[in-house]
Structure 1
Amino acid sequence: MQSTFSLSTAPITVSAFGLVFSVSLFAWICCQRKSSKSNKTPPYKFVHVLKGVDIYPENLNSKKKFGVDDKSEAKSKSAMPKNSLHLDLENRDLNGNFPKTTSKMQSSPDPENSSSKHFSEKKKDSVSPDSLKSTTSLSSEEKQDKLGTLFLSLEYNFEKKAFVVSIKEARGLPAMDEQSMTSDPYIKMTILPEKKHKVKTRVLRKTLDPAFDETFTFYGIPYSQIQDLTLHFMILSFDRFSRDDVIGEVLIPLAGTELSEGRMLMDREIIKRNVRKSSGRGELLISLCYQSTTNTLTVVVLKARHLPKSDVSGLSDPYVKVNLYHVKKRISKKKTHVKKCTPNAVFNELFVFDIPCEGLDDISIEFLVLDSDRGSRNEVIGRLTLGSSAEGTGGEHWKEICEYPRRQIAKWHMLCDG
């Protein structure tokens, strides 16, 4: 009787032991995953391989970040706080930015050249707490005139005869999107005067303080020619509906720059782009798409900007008339809603026209930007014609939609006198 009882309870004991073992094993696996996530190595900096020049791969060690050797890493851990300007990738937010704290600029931005002597010799180009305080204490009117600051570093590798430009970050950029009050910034860099080397960073979404942390290495540039070069940085904001908005530019002549002592950190104020402003009647952003299968033309009136003052108050109430012509005969017409009191109107209105013939050879489309006035006849602000016989951007835009049917193509066009 006793042996029968022990045999019947044996499976229960084994199953209980298996359950306890399974739960313990599951808990151990969860703890290992959690610890591995917390100790995960941050991503490396972006290192670009450039077309048209000889590139040698950089040696990366998975145990350290790019650009920091063992000695400098040990020094930085002991002598430099974690929130210094050196780009600590663990502290980035969702947009790839760093927290806006004034304390992170109080120490050397680059652990490879963190000696006080090196930065005292380059006080003009280094980042100091005083310069940061001056930017944070600006009045609201002064901030509107400021286009931000660009932070970068320059270095020459004598072993590989390579010129290295690291675009660190930009701060205090203006908002180019009026609705979200943010920008989608990126930077184009060109080495002047030959313009042989043209590179650009990635686009960072919805931020006014982008941290690019991208390194461009140019091989085949002798150190003796560095003094004759000028670096040109164009700061832009990506716009998926049209050409990108230009925020500003930075020009850095390298004459007198001494890179034999090591890496040099610089910060430069971003200035307005030195171009001729659009004069005359303003500009209109149009998107076109020709559907060859249905023989229809889709027209989207997106934006207008820099419209002249037409009203006594100094502002106009613009709207757009769209006329479709077949062999100089108007066969259809549409118009947008009126936008009150603005020289920079956003319409975003779509119209679909049926084409009475095969192809667009005999078709043209006219855009009239008018100022709405209840008391009198509406005044024509500007005119734009697109077609196969149109000159300038109007003809180029029309040629593109004919060559690439079913593709929506948007372009800015200068308005002519009405």
Structure 2
Amino acid sequence: MAPIAASHQQFDEIPTVVGIFSAFGLVFSVSLFAWICCQRKSSKSNKTPPYKFVHVLKGVDIYPENLNSKKKFGVDDKSEAKSKSAMPKNSLHLDLENRDLNGNFPKTTSKMQSSPDPENSSSKHFSEKKKDSVSPDSLKSTTSLSSEEKQDKLGTLFLSLEYNFEKKAFVVSIKEARGLPAMDEQSMTSDPYIKMTILPEKKHKVKTRVLRKTLDPAFDETFTFYGIPYSQIQDLTLHFMILSFDRFSRDDVIGEVLIPLAGTELSEGRMLMDREIIKRNVRKSSGRGELLISLCYQSTTNTLTVVVLKARHLPKSDVSGLSDPYVKVNLYHVKKRISKKKTHVKKCTPNAVFNELFVFDIPCEGLDDISIEFLVLDSDRGSRNEVIGRLTLGSSAEGTGGEHWKEICEYPRRQIAKWHMLCDG
């Protein structure tokens, strides 16, 4: 029985020994893992970054050094002094800590260096003296003049004219436009396209494609008009309307160009020309007819009642003789169309009676930012409907349109009717 008891005591001591060895192993593995992590972190901190930050200060680009450079960020003052002394004198160096509040660098007077070419050095000094002699008042005047000129100028249109005697065709090539104003205030660009009409008959109407986000569009489009005899060209006038496409509202009119062809000789070949774009001259034409409109503003319900009553003395169409007029009514809020209506078509009459009422909900208090556009169109199933005349009523409208709008604002809940002359559409 004695040997059996001794063996039981030996087996009882084994778990304690295993626990001691496992604790020592655990401590050793944790300490080894911590040491490896510390070594990796120290090796990462000692590594050199691949390049420095790129600064852009008032048009001066400070490019980073070569990627193979051995210079580190953590160098001491001695190494910096050595690198400064080793730099060539002509190299660009900007001390970012010595800038003023506006981000400008102080002017430093550098000593004259001996140059091999005395003529170049004298010309440089002469130009520097000229720059220093310019007064700030003169600079202000030149900048103001340039800004005013930029506001007045609407760009230049480049085109070419040609007559093909074999095909008896008149050829107009719209090349490009330069220096157009930005009609989109957010992106400071435009989406220009051009409408061209041959006056006075207005039979030939074409337009170019829309070019996106450019102030110098290159159209390079050629239009050929057949059936125009060469003897008739002297009596024609080319009308170019430059517009900017707007997806959400009416297209913005940039300007127009009128080119009378009287005195032009196309027998010698192609003629290149360029014309300045001018503001659109919105002239009231007696030949466009008149429109009778009644308006009433309800301040309590914030609604505007528009009644299209009559149209008279509308011009005749070119082909069928009498036009088939109808009126399209567009409501604008700060140059953005928010609603549109249209009347029924009246067949073959220059004096149409509509008597149709439309009610518009005004999205703001008052009529200061509201305007209404009336388009009198000629209905044509075979082609696009042609605009006979146009009328705009609003606070910024001129003539009877502005007077009518002022009356409905001063006398709400009163129906006021007036005749208005239609403008050329």
Name the TM-score, length of structure 2 as normaliser. 0.37
Could you tell which deviates more after superposition, 168-177 or 77-86? Answer: 77-86
Cα 1:417–1:292 change in 2 (3 A) is: same
Distance in 2 separating the partners of 1:162 and 1:57: 62
Q: CA deviation at 1:241?
A: 1.1
Q: Residue 210 and residue 339 in structure 1: after superposition, are their counterparts in 2 closer, same or farther (change >3 A)? A: farther
Q: Name whichever of 374-383 and 344-353 sits farther off.
A: 374-383
| From 207, 214, 218, the counterpart of 1:200 | 207
Q: Select between 362-371 and 87-96 the one with higher mean Cα deviation.
A: 87-96
Shift of 1:140: 2.1
- Tell me the secondary structure at the aligned position of residue 132 of structure 1: helix
Measured after TM superposition, the shift of residue 45 of structure 1 is 48
Aligned pair 1:118/2:125, yes or no?
A: yes
User: Structure 1 residues 414 and 244, CA, compared in 2 at 3 Å: closer, same or farther?
Assistant: farther
* C-alpha deviation, 1:219, in angstroms: 0.6
Classify 1:67/1:140 alpha carbon distance in 2 versus 1 (closer, same or farther; 3 Å): farther
Structure 1 residue ranges without an equivalent (≥5): 1-9
The answer to whether the 8 A contact 1:46-1:214 is kept is no
How many residue pairs get aligned? The number is 407
Q: Which residue does 1:41 correspond to in 2?
A: 48
Write the deviation string for residues 202-256 of structure 1: whole angstroms up to 9, x where unpaired.
0001111000000000011000001000000000000111111100000000000
Distance 1:259 1:373, change over 3 A: closer
Report if the CA contact (8 A) 2:176-2:217 is conserved.
yes
Q: CA deviation at 1:175?
A: 0.6
User: 1:334-365 CA deviation, whole Å, 9 max, x = no partner?
Assistant: 99999999999999999999999999999999
Rate the CA distance shift 1:27–1:394 in 2: closer, same or farther, 3 A: farther
8 Å Cα contact 1:296/1:354 also seen in 2: yes
- Distance change in 2, residues 1:374/1:145 (3 Å): farther
1:251-306 C-alpha deviation (Å, 9 max, x unpaired): 00000000000000010000000016999999999999999999999999999999
Q: Does the C-alpha gap of structure 1 residues 401 and 208 become closer, same or farther in structure 2, counting only changes over 3 Å?
A: farther
Question: SS of 1:348's equivalent?
Answer: strand
Separation in 1 of the partners of 2:383 and 2:87?
A: 70
Deviation by residue 1:102-152 (Cα, 9 ceiling, x = unmatched): 999999999999999999999999999999999999822201110000000
Structure 2 gaps, min length 5: 5-21
C-alpha spacing 1:257/1:390, structure 2 compared with 1 (3 Å)? closer
Report if aligned partners of 1:288, 1:410 keep a CA contact under 8 Å in 2.
yes
1:122 aligned counterpart, secondary structure: helix
- Distance in 2 (CA, whole Å) between partners of 1:261 and 1:182 is 39
Deviation string 1:70-103 (CA, Å, 9 cap, x unpaired) is 9999999999999999999999999999999999
Structure 1 residues 179, 117: CA separation in 2 closer, same or farther (over 3 Å shift)? Answer: closer
- Whose radius of gyration is greater, 1 or 2? 2
- Helix, strand or coil: the match of 1:46? coil
- Range with greater deviation from structure 2 (271-280 or 62-71): 62-71
Q: Could you say if the C-alpha distance between residues 179 and 386 of structure 1 is closer, same or farther in structure 2, counting changes exceeding 3 Å?
A: same
Determine helix, strand or coil for the equivalent of 2:341. strand
1:176-204 superposed Cα distances (whole Å, 9 cap, x missing partner): 11111111000000000100000000000
Moved more, 181-190 or 52-61: 52-61
Measured on the aligned residues, the alpha-carbon RMSD in Å equals 22.0
The 5-angstrom pairing of residues 63-74 of structure 1 reads none
CA contact (8 A) 1:96 1:211 kept: no
Superposed, which structure 2 residues align to 1:19-418 within 5 Å?
A: 139-275=146-282
Which deviates further from its counterpart, 32-41 or 123-132?
32-41
SS of residue paired to 1:124: helix
Asked whether the equivalents of residues 324 and 348 of structure 2 are also in contact (C-alpha less than 8 Å), the reply is: yes
Q: Compared with structure 1, are the counterparts of its residues 319 and 214 closer, same or farther at alpha carbon in structure 2 (3 Å cutoff)? A: closer
Q: Kindly state the Cα deviation for residue 54 of structure 1 after the two structures are TM-superposed.
A: 59
Give the distance between the partners of 2:156 and 2:359, measured in 1 at CA. 45
> 1:38-74 deviations in whole A, cap 9, x for unaligned?
9999999999999999999999999999999999999
Tell me if the contact between 1:97 and 1:209 (Cα under 8 Å) persists in the aligned partners: no
Aligned mates of 1:242, 1:215 — CA distance in 2: 29
Change (3 A) 1:129 1:37: farther
Q: Deviations over 1:13-43 (max 9, x none)?
A: xx99999999999999999999999999999
Distance 1:212 1:200 in 2: 11
Alpha carbons 1:106, 1:128 under 8 Å: kept: no
128-137 or 34-43, which moves further after superposition? 34-43
Structure 1 residues 231-240 or 120-129, which shifts more? 120-129
Q: Does the 8 Å contact 2:100/2:106 carry over to 1?
A: yes
CA contact (8 A) 1:250 1:268 kept: yes
Alpha-carbon contact 1:85-1:107 (below 8 Å) kept: no
SS in 1 for 2:30: helix
* 48-57 or 367-376, which deviates more: 48-57
Moved more, 125-134 or 203-212: 125-134
Equivalent position SS for 1:231: strand
Greater RCO between the two (CA within 8 Å, min separation 6)? 1
Closer, same or farther in 2 for the Cα pair 1:361/1:345, shift >3 Å? same
The 1:152/1:39 distance shift into structure 2, 3 A limit, reads farther
Q: What is the percentage of aligned positions where both structures have the same residue?
A: 100
Query: For the Cα contact (< 8 Å) 2:52–2:65, is it kept in 1?
Result: no
**Helix, strand or coil at the partner of 1:105:** coil
Residues 55, 61 of structure 2: 8 Å contact kept: no
Q: Relative to 1, partners in 2 of residues 1:225 and 1:411: Cα closer, same or farther, differing over 3 Å?
A: same
Q: C-alpha separation between the residues in 2 aligned to 1:153 and 1:70?
A: 68
For the residue of structure 1 that corresponds to 2:288, the secondary structure is coil
